[in-house]
Structure 1
């Protein structure tokens, strides 16, 4: 948008010093021309594509302070040499941290460099010095196209990366082989549910990758239906925004699971959809993301890398769109993914099916995560809800039935003394016992509170603990004491007690609890305590019936 353009130019310029400083200048080094960072100690070929794009977009931007600086063009050419030298005969490159002869890395590079090439070619008549870099980028893309025609993928999102990259090459080089290959991937169907969830459930990384890829294909192939899953996903993502502006990532199936992540990488997704659909909500979210970046709440990148898109689109540079802000109150229930998300202003709760950390609470920047464990036959005693349902009047139920006991000797010799080869499933079972664990959650948004009823039925005498892992560094306050709460420390909330936990400008009141035993961190079979958190325990013995109330308190 027009109001964002100056900020994008500024962000792009901020990237340049590091790209110049960290480029390996040693001609004797295997990393010559690549981006060499101290934390890695080696260069990733694919990183050169982003460097080339950043350098050239600033070089060609009339509003950039370094516009026309020959040092940027020289550096881009050296990065291109590094990329070409790293390219295998089959057209692929390596992702050295994990994959080799990787066609998908060519796909990611193409998603960037195909647009860089368009920008270069738009200026080459007036800037003949661009001829060398144009030739190098085109050579890399043509070779890479051959690698994608014969290469493959690992993960669901890779399909759309490859398909979109092939589509870009079809547009650039008018080679039907690229379009036919892209259609092979598209024929598999887009793995996005009606509620907008992709297979990998990756709020922090791969949602963005999927959306970017589908938007590229929707435009070039003139298939507007490919924007539908993008719209669904972006609307779903709004229900994953936490009160502090970060994203909920604990449900991800990929490496972003549980990582603190801000939605800066979604900026191109929301901006692109805003200009495609003129939806003021998408424009409003793009604006919100930019405000977050200004405030320093960012993870990864996504703004400076947008300069090429702005330079290629007069509409992005010159048009402002009407905007509305996303609602800070919502409810999302996605039974297919086993997740509930509810938020009201500065408090949110998340419930997860099939996860030992079954409940997440966010109050401002304070995080509170709930687990339950018992001594029911070792690690079988961990509460991992098999069922999540409800929703009537903001009440939810999580439930798990457990059954275990002992095995008898074989009635007949098993034919082997090798324990691992024995048919243990045929052994008779004895002394089988049942334990039902249930949690009922009552969300009370107008009171900024949630009540957690927990109970058990079945086997008696089983040690039980509920653990509440909280953001460390605060202070626990009771009528009698104030206790600093550092990472790795813990306390037990005694029956009927009340404590207030203060962290920064937030205060959380917790009432309820029980104190029937001291088996907390050391409980056999339970998961290790979170050493980065302060943990509050409630301990009991089955049969259990208790309530924990957690509410935002006036600080």
Structure 2
């Protein structure tokens, strides 16, 4: 890429002369910060700092295969080829470039794969190929003789890996597009109709993207992976229709975003349903579509991401190689227009509700996959409610009963009636009668199967046994939001004398008042009556009325966890309310 003057770049890249105060989504201070700094030079500086760290690390032997090696090679390549970098054409980088690619070649298996995360894995090899192909594209434009070995070695590695991707298999839905995106990058470097044929074979399965913008895995981690893969395939294969699901997913992602950039993951079917995820990794995707579609709201989100804590450490450090690989990202963003910060969205395909009132947000979730089975690819999150007011964060609310050790409440969907959201669960726990004569076996060796309520397994042929003494527990939770305050009404009926527990988990590091500390627990409290308050920084959340009818606050997960000594307990400050069925309780939080 030709050397762009700093003044010219600033004018083109930032495009902010008409960028007035955009409140409350992007503040005036953020705008001023953006206009005062040369973003591209800042990116070069971030790359330089990263290269300095890489050189220190690579002074020692490379021991482990890790995906980061691909980014290390890409960052070194970008530094060597960028005229404004202090490492521009510095020969000291060349031995380290060769060191990385030699290690990868040595680790590469005969079939072209790497043991990276999984054994001999085509999709994991595809992940590392993304930055390696970016590096190869950058180096291809540079004729420095000392780069010949690394370019030749990169070609050998990439082509061998390309065969693994062209013929190899995958595990998860997003892997299809990771492999296809890598093949499109390889094809751009070393054209081969066989690569495109394999991409078409995967694409012929169809890209699932529902009416609201969810991909199959409903994961904020893997949705971003898919978005980036489809963008890569679209631009390199010249297939604009591949951007349609990306637009839908990025529109959805905004409504899942908290005011600080965190993303809601309650409805995920992957590991992030219990992990904190931030919108930072979506930067490339929003930036590309903002420019491509002249999308003012995506432009505002792009600017917002640039101001999130962690942008420099997690995004800027790896940004330069991608800017050199695809100069389209250097085109000016359209004038930003803030998306709404006052909305109520009911995502019916996953039974998730998002309500935002400026810096106050509410999340409701009732979309688990039944029967509940703990496995990757299934939604099992019991966090049915979450609430934020600025820095004060209720991470989740859960409801548990000791009804036959069935554990946490998980709603069978959400309905919306008269401005209220209704979550509901009905559990039946039977006792089993002797098998009818026609199903009895003299050897007693019956089918190993699940009990009809899904709580346990045994060789009892449960499906053919008459049931009796059926016990029922039915819970309804109604939630109504008014200007940032939520009123929840709990009702549990059926079996009597069952202990129920409401569990609230607030972000660690805050202050709680109006509560009773539980002895022997560092961060567990009871709200016996009245109201409590949680404060973090300048913000606070008030909640109540309290209720305390029993002291059981352990083993809330239920039998599917306790039999394997598992736990859903997370970091945080926990508050408990307890009752006995029949149970009715009104609870306000705001």
Q: With the length of structure 1 as denominator, give the TM-score of the two structures.
A: 0.88
Which residue matches 1:112?
Answer: 131
Residues in 2 aligned to 1:523 and 1:174: alpha-carbon distance in whole angstroms: 57
Contact 2:489 2:587 in 1 (8 A): yes
Which residue matches 1:508?
Answer: 541
1:227 counterpart = 2:243: yes
When residues 109 and 457 of structure 1 are mapped into structure 2, their CA distance, relative to the original with a 3 A threshold, is same
Q: Which of 76, 89, 92 is residue 110 of structure 2 equivalent to?
A: 89
When residues 472 and 319 of structure 1 are mapped into structure 2, their CA distance, relative to the original with a 3 A threshold, is closer
Residues in 2 aligned to 1:144 and 1:431: alpha-carbon distance in whole angstroms: 61
CA displacement at 1:104 relative to structure 2 = 1.4
Residues in 2 aligned to 1:256 and 1:86: alpha-carbon distance in whole angstroms: 30
Listed one character per residue, the Cα deviations across residues 275-309 of structure 1 (whole Å, up to 9, x for unaligned) are: 211112222211111111xx4468x8333222123
1:319 counterpart = 2:332: yes
CA displacement at 1:69 relative to structure 2 = 2.2
Q: Which consecutive unaligned segments of at least 5 residues does structure 2 have?
A: 1-11, 15-38, 369-380, 447-457, 562-566
- 85-94 or 526-535, which deviates more: 526-535
1:304 counterpart = 2:321: no
Which residue matches 2:388?
Answer: 362
Which residue matches 1:491?
Answer: 525
Which residue matches 1:49?
Answer: 70
CA displacement at 1:231 relative to structure 2 = 0.6
Which residue matches 2:175?
Answer: 158
Residues in 2 aligned to 1:485 and 1:388: alpha-carbon distance in whole angstroms: 37
When residues 524 and 532 of structure 1 are mapped into structure 2, their CA distance, relative to the original with a 3 A threshold, is closer
1:347 counterpart = 2:360: yes
Q: How does 1:283-298 map to 2 (within 5 A)?
A: 283-292=299-308, 295-296=309-310
SS of the residue 1:377 aligns to: helix
CA displacement at 1:399 relative to structure 2 = 0.4
Q: With the length of structure 2 as denominator, give the TM-score of the two structures.
A: 0.83
When residues 243 and 2 of structure 1 are mapped into structure 2, their CA distance, relative to the original with a 3 A threshold, is same
Residues in 2 aligned to 1:61 and 1:196: alpha-carbon distance in whole angstroms: 38
SS of the residue 2:141 aligns to: helix
CA displacement at 1:529 relative to structure 2 = 7.1
Which residue matches 2:569?
Answer: 530
CA displacement at 1:24 relative to structure 2 = 6.0
Which residue matches 2:140?
Answer: 121
Which residue matches 1:407?
Answer: 432
1:16 counterpart = 2:51: yes
Q: How does 1:435-474 map to 2 (within 5 A)?
A: 435-444=473-482, 446=483, 448-474=484-510
When residues 268 and 508 of structure 1 are mapped into structure 2, their CA distance, relative to the original with a 3 A threshold, is same
Contact 1:474 1:485 in 2 (8 A): no
SS of the residue 1:193 aligns to: coil
1:78 counterpart = 2:99: yes
CA displacement at 1:75 relative to structure 2 = 0.9
Listed one character per residue, the Cα deviations across residues 364-407 of structure 1 (whole Å, up to 9, x for unaligned) are: 2333211111121112x5311112121653x2110011111312
Residues in 2 aligned to 1:432 and 1:199: alpha-carbon distance in whole angstroms: 37
- The size of the alignment, in residue pairs, is 522
Which residue matches 1:214?
Answer: 230
CA displacement at 1:189 relative to structure 2 = 0.7
- 144-153 or 175-184, which deviates more: 144-153
Residues in 2 aligned to 1:101 and 1:522: alpha-carbon distance in whole angstroms: 40
1:247 counterpart = 2:263: yes
Which residue matches 1:192?
Answer: 209
SS of the residue 2:213 aligns to: coil
Q: Which of 279, 283, 287 is residue 263 of structure 1 equivalent to?
A: 279
CA displacement at 1:267 relative to structure 2 = 1.0
SS of the residue 2:273 aligns to: coil
When residues 523 and 246 of structure 1 are mapped into structure 2, their CA distance, relative to the original with a 3 A threshold, is closer
Contact 1:521 1:529 in 2 (8 A): no
Residues in 1 aligned to 2:66 and 2:492: alpha-carbon distance in whole angstroms: 55
Residues in 2 aligned to 1:244 and 1:195: alpha-carbon distance in whole angstroms: 23
CA displacement at 1:223 relative to structure 2 = 1.4
Which residue matches 2:6?
Answer: none
Listed one character per residue, the Cα deviations across residues 418-457 of structure 1 (whole Å, up to 9, x for unaligned) are: 574331222221111222100001112x2x2111111123
Q: Which of 545, 550, 553 is residue 520 of structure 1 equivalent to?
A: 553
Q: Which consecutive unaligned segments of at least 5 residues does structure 1 have?
A: 27-33, 35-41
Root-mean-square deviation (CA, aligned residues, Å) is 2.5
When residues 383 and 488 of structure 1 are mapped into structure 2, their CA distance, relative to the original with a 3 A threshold, is farther
SS of the residue 2:261 aligns to: coil
Contact 2:112 2:163 in 1 (8 A): yes
SS of the residue 1:59 aligns to: helix
Residues in 2 aligned to 1:485 and 1:341: alpha-carbon distance in whole angstroms: 36
